[in-house]
Structure 1
Amino acid sequence: MRLQRRLELRAAGLGPLTTRELRPALIALAVAAVVAIFWLVWCWRLLGGLGLALGGSLYLALLARLVLWRGAVVRRRRGRFTAAEAEALTDAQVHRVVLALLRRDGWLVAWQPYQGRPRIVGTDCSGQRPIDVTFRPVDWKEDDETGPAPALRAAGNAVRDGTVRLLVTLGTFPRGDVLWASRQGLHLVNGNLLRRWAAGERINQLLGIVPGRRVS
């Protein structure tokens, strides 16, 4: 039970950092220290004490910006987005964002394209409940042969096997798709739900999903 909880925390990015995760930060710290020494020595030789003060201030300002930028990248990779970032999501970002959000919420997921289209599959941390996620672009049309027309139907096959099936879009779903999906047990994640999910709400609460529990 303790091991499962540890795996859930690690999948959600909340567990203690491992040596492997700390290694890049330690290397970056060492590189920053070496660069700082060479930079400050050069400034001292060029302008003396004034150069040391100006060079140190400039280096610290640049280092702070770099740390903030890197922190934002790591935060988003762990599935944590600000409200502004959630509002600014685009179709090109949705697939990577959903993968990060699922991992943040404790699902063990990976890419598995379906007929050349984006798809995410996996299970909850206990390995007892599968999940299958497909996507629909905002400008998708039912008669558009270049878009993922079969995605909704493909996601809805064998709906009674206990698999959690999601169809995700930044746009909205027509009433006909909503009614069909409700009969098939398919969860539709529209743009509003996706932004709430990205902004911090958990998919389990948004859709009433209970991980680790199979449907009989």
Structure 2
Amino acid sequence: MPQRLRRHEKRASWHSRRREAIRALRAQGRYGPGLREVLPALVVVAVVVCGIVAGLAVAYRVLGTGALAGGLALLAVITAAVVRHNRPLARRRLGYYTPEEIADLDVDGLALAVSRMLRRDGWRSLARPDAQGQPHVRARDRLGRRLEVAFRPVAEPLPDEETPTRAARSAGSGPQLRLVVHRGTFSRRDVQWARRQGGVQLIDGSRLRRWAHGTPLHRLPEVP
């Protein structure tokens, strides 16, 4: 009887130490998710796999071997595209960035990211420094509309700086749009300045993250 009691105490002590170790690892962010956290995703994956298998089986019975081979080939192409799209380097080249990646970029890197995001949205863009050596992006769409992107924390031009939209409009005809990109927030003064200029769109940190995630430029909400 005493031996059973000691074994029970040892087992209870081991479980207690294990729970404490798991709590410590979770507090440090070093312990993986629990079953309850991953179970919904596992169920979704199982349902998708079962649906694909069932669909291939039906296609094989109805249309024969050719349909099965075509379905498998299509599935392989889709899988390869998804894997390639989710690789960090390939994803960024396609114009998709995570909030952490946007936050870690310097100004030159941000200009390259914005240029890629514009290409993703159907613009032909080029990131090149302006006359003062500041990062600058120019773009044109299929309709011939021109777009310019500047990167600065404050939209109001300095006293010795020419109004950007004025210079852009004198360069040619057609609708013009100028973006001012800032990873922070714009002041009320910046918003009023953009409204006075006309054709100026402010991209603050929140809109920039949504744009980088995949929301097209024309669907971004306006800065209040």
2:204 to 184, 190, 213: 190
How far apart, in 1, do the equivalents of 2:219 and 2:127 lie? 24
The AA in structure 1 aligned to 2:193 is: W
Give yes or no for contact 2:148–2:177 (8 Å, CA) kept in 1: yes
Which residue of 125, 148, 165 maps to 1:109? 125
**CA pair 193-143 structure 1, distance change in 2 beyond 3 A:** closer
Q: What RMSD over aligned residues (CA atoms) do the two structures have, in Å? A: 3.4
Q: Deviations over 1:105-162 (max 9, x none)?
A: 11011124222111111211x24211111111x5x69899xxxx948x3246456951
Q: Who is 1:100 aligned against?
A: 116
Is the Cα–Cα contact under 8 Å of residues 145 and 176 in structure 2 kept in the other structure? yes
Letter in 1 for 2:111: H
Q: In structure 1, what is the equivalent of residue 96 of structure 2?
A: 80
CA deviation after TM superposition for structure 1 residue 71, in Å: 2.8
More helix by share: 2
TM score, norm. by length of structure 1: 0.51
Query: In structure 1, what is the Cα distance between the partners aligned to 2:155 and 2:178?
Result: 21
Aligned to 2:77: none
- Please report the TM-score for the alignment, with normalisation by the length of structure 2: 0.50
Indicate if the aligned counterparts of 1:77 and 1:100 stay in contact, CA closer than 8 A: yes
Counterpart amino acid of residue 78 in structure 1: L
Deviation at 1:187, TM superposition (A): 0.5
**Aligned residue runs from structure 1 range 125-204, under 5 A:** 126-136=142-152, 138=153, 150=161, 153-155=163-165, 157=167, 161-185=174-198, 186-204=200-218
2:87 is paired with a residue whose SS is helix
Matched, 1:122 2:135: no
| Distance in 1, Cα, partners of 2:101 & 2:139 | 26
Residues 76 and 175 of structure 1: is their aligned pair in 2 closer, same or farther, counting only changes over 3 Å? Answer: same
Cα displacement (A) at 1:180:
1.2
Decide whether aligned partners of structure 1 residues 74 and 81 sit closer, same or farther in structure 2, where only a CA change above 3 A counts: same
**Residue type at the aligned position of 1:120:** V
Whole-angstrom CA distance in 2 between matches of 1:86 and 1:113: 20
The unaligned stretches of length 5 or more in structure 2 are 1-82
Per-residue CA deviations over 1:146-200 (Å, capped at 9, x if unaligned) read xxx948x324645695111101111122211110101212101111110111111
Contact residue 127 and residue 135 of structure 2 kept, 8 A: yes
Please identify the structure whose Cα radius of gyration is greater: 2
Quick one: higher RCO (CA 8 Å, sep 6+), 1 or 2? 1
Rounded to whole Å, the distance in 1 between the matches of 2:100 and 2:135 is 25
Q: 1:74 to 1:204 in 2, by over 3 A?
A: same
Runs (4+) off by over 4 Å: 67-70, 86-90, 140-144, 155-161
Q: What is the aligned-residue identity percentage?
A: 36
Q: 1:134–1:155: 8 Å Cα contact kept in structure 2?
A: no
Residue 59 of structure 1 is matched in structure 2 by none
Q: Which runs of 5+ in 1 are unaligned?
A: 1-66, 209-216
The total of aligned residue pairs comes to 134
Q: 1:73 and 1:188 mapped to 2: Cα distance?
A: 27
- CA drift at 1:72: 1.6
